[in-house]
Amino acid sequence: MSEQELKLHVPQHSRHKIQKYLGKADKISLRAMYFDTSDRQLAKAKVAIRLRQEGDEWVQTLKMAGANSLSRIEMNHRRQGPVLDLSLYAGTAAETILAKLTKPLELRYETDVLRLYKIQRTRTGRVEIAYDTGFIRAGRLELPLNEVEFELKSGDVQAIFDIGLRWIKQYDLILDTRTKSHRGDALASMMAKINEVDDEFKPHVESQETARFWAERKARPYALEKHLNSTQALCRLTEECIEQIAMNAAYLAEVDTAGVLSVASPEHVHQLRIGMRRLASNWRLFNGAAHLPDLALQTQLKQFLAQFGATRDTDVMLESIMPSLQKAGMPNIEIDHYQGRSATDMARDSRFQVFLVKLLAWVATTPLTDPITEDNMGKESNQPISNPPESGTIDFGKEVNTTENDTNLNAHETDAATKFALPSHTTIADNSVDSSTNTNAPATTEALSSISDQGIITTTGLEVATDMPAMSIIPLIPSKQAQQGLRKTLEKRLNKWNKAIISHWKHNDRKNIEAYHDLRKRIKRMRYGLNVYEGVEGHANLNAYVKRLAHAQEVFGALNDHATALNYFTSITDKHPEAWFAVGWLSAQLTDLKREADVALKRLPKKIIFD
């Protein structure tokens, strides 16, 4: 019922090598029809339903969102032919969604795929490697498919990352979080828009919709249930940030358009960096309360953020400052733009792609219980929280045998664990479900029978083993953070951040421009933290505070742009003496902006009142 898979785009130069590697793999033709209402009611509910011809057989599949971005609930039913049967979902989780449809289902888009696939066994699990080539079609619009999927068939989810990370390094693969249904739905929506207008307007609308199809992926509001603990909340937040980063990186890397259409833009870089900054802010927000990625990942985030920033900072600064300088009468100067690596090259770099997949691996394997501390939201640490070895930390340099974690048990404890402990990860090896079969009873009966053979459980009831050792139970003592709830946890941290902002000048020199830059970063981090708080169910209304903070962020942002411009023009005065005009004008502007920034800072309350 549940599948976990990692999808990676295969660039042109690696396709022949992968086909050669999979030369003896099984091959199958897959042609699928995807259905939805004309107003996309299923897509909005994150549901996809299809009929697929797999060789000579037909399979009906419904997929729903799973526990995380790697997981999806999948229901498969074999069919006699291309007939969609919604009655199969009576009594399932999908029934509620399908029963609420107000319009009939219709064919929205199709896929035509040739799949090469094989099973790869590792120490941690069995993974199906599937290389798909083909097309997604909606009307006359077509999008190419060249992707490899690593789907967990049994074992630990770490197995798909072990293989996926090796393949990224070997074949320069690119993370693509978009599913086939995501792309097909977008293509169908584009075709519908084009069909709505007369023929004379179609070229213009098609151009508009093409730009919309490849538009940057912006930040979306968070949605957090109030009962989540800090680690669970951070994993949810991290998934949203990863998707924003990865989708913009995929467009920059031209996953579907290389050699055909140039879609990469400075706005993709901007949104990618926003995703990175949101992620860094969230790590700081939950530092001391939740499990965090290791120091290496935290350091890499800062490094990649700086690298992508170098491709855009000068251009943005000049775009925001140059018009004012020219209006003030500055002589024309030929500006030297950034000449380093392009954002497209950096997005394609296997080191960056490995970083993204390691972030996904952290989400999939981190323990969903908070670390035990005296006060989880007490003193904010500058150091990351290290996960203990048994918490699912991944060593990406080698395959890990999960049985090795039990070496600390003595023989007596090992025997008891064998009899009574449930495995930490359970996986359904075969996701296919025959429409004529009860999906629950056979699995349950088989499980009970296998345990009954050990003399522990019978189908008629429980039998306590006579050699069962004496047992005691250590009770769970909820942490302070767990008792106070997610909302209170965030309120405590946000007030601490606010206090650091308003008391900034007690510890810093106003003559140092870097102190202004540091304060700007604190204000921006505070805004990202408020975005998280606003996503928590039942959060308090902070509109008045948000408006004051937004104004302060705007003023400090302008101050930063002018300071950056001043440094730039000062650096080129030897080559361009006319740049002294800009130096003088910018210096005067900075004096005014500093006064304005001080006023904006004083308008912030000493303490945030959470109603």
Give the residue from 360, 368, 433, 427 showing the smallest Cα distance to 94: 433
pLDDT, tens digit, for every residue of 154-210? 999 999 999 999 999 999 999 999 999 999 999 999 999 999 999 999 999 999 999
Q: Please name the fold of domain 1-187.
A: Hypothetical Protein Pfu-838710-001 (2.40.320)
Reduced 3-state DSSP string for 49-103: EEEEEECCEEEEEEEEECCCCCEEEEEEEEECCCCCCHHHHCCCCCHHHHHCCCC
How many other CB atoms are there within 10 angstroms of residue 161's CB atom? Answer: 25
Give the other-Cβ count within 10 Å of 323's Cβ.
10
Each domain of the chain, given as residue ranges in start order, spans: 1-187, 483-603
Least confident of 46-50, 72-76, 141-145, 235-239: 72-76
Q: Which residue has the higher pLDDT, 431 or 512?
A: 512
CA-to-CA dists, residue 239 to 287, 288, 363, angstroms: 17, 20, 7
Task: Judge whether 65 and 73 are in contact, CB under 8 Å.
Answer: yes
Q: How far is CA 310 from CA 338, 339, 341, in A?
A: 7, 10, 9
- Name 470's Cβ contacts closer than 8 Å, sequence gap at least 6: none
pLDDT tens for 544-577 read: 999 999 999 999 999 999 998 999 899 999 999 9
Q: Is residue 23 scored above 80 in pLDDT?
A: yes
Query: Is the pLDDT at 336 greater than 80, yes or no?
Result: no
- Identify the pLDDT of residue 77: 96
pLDDT at 133 over 90: yes
Band of pLDDT at residue 474, cut at 50, 70 and 90: low
pLDDT at 475: 61
Question: What whole-number percentage of the chain has pLDDT above 70?
Answer: 80
CB burial of residue 213 (10 Å; 0-12, 13-18, 19+) = middle
pLDDT above 90: residue 297: yes
The model's pTM is 0.80
Classify 225 in phi/psi space as left (phi over 0), alpha (psi -120 to 50) or beta. beta
pLDDT in tens, 495-552: 999 999 999 999 999 999 999 999 999 999 999 999 999 999 999 999 999 999 999 9
Question: If you ran DSSP here, which 8-state letter would residue 111 be given?
Answer: E
Task: Please list, in sequence order, all residues whose beta carbon lies within 8 angstroms of the beta carbon of residue 226, skipping any fewer than 6 positions away.
Answer: 485, 486, 487, 536, 537, 538
DSSP 290: B
For the chain, give the longest Cα–Cα distance: 95
CB atoms within 10 A of CB 431: 16
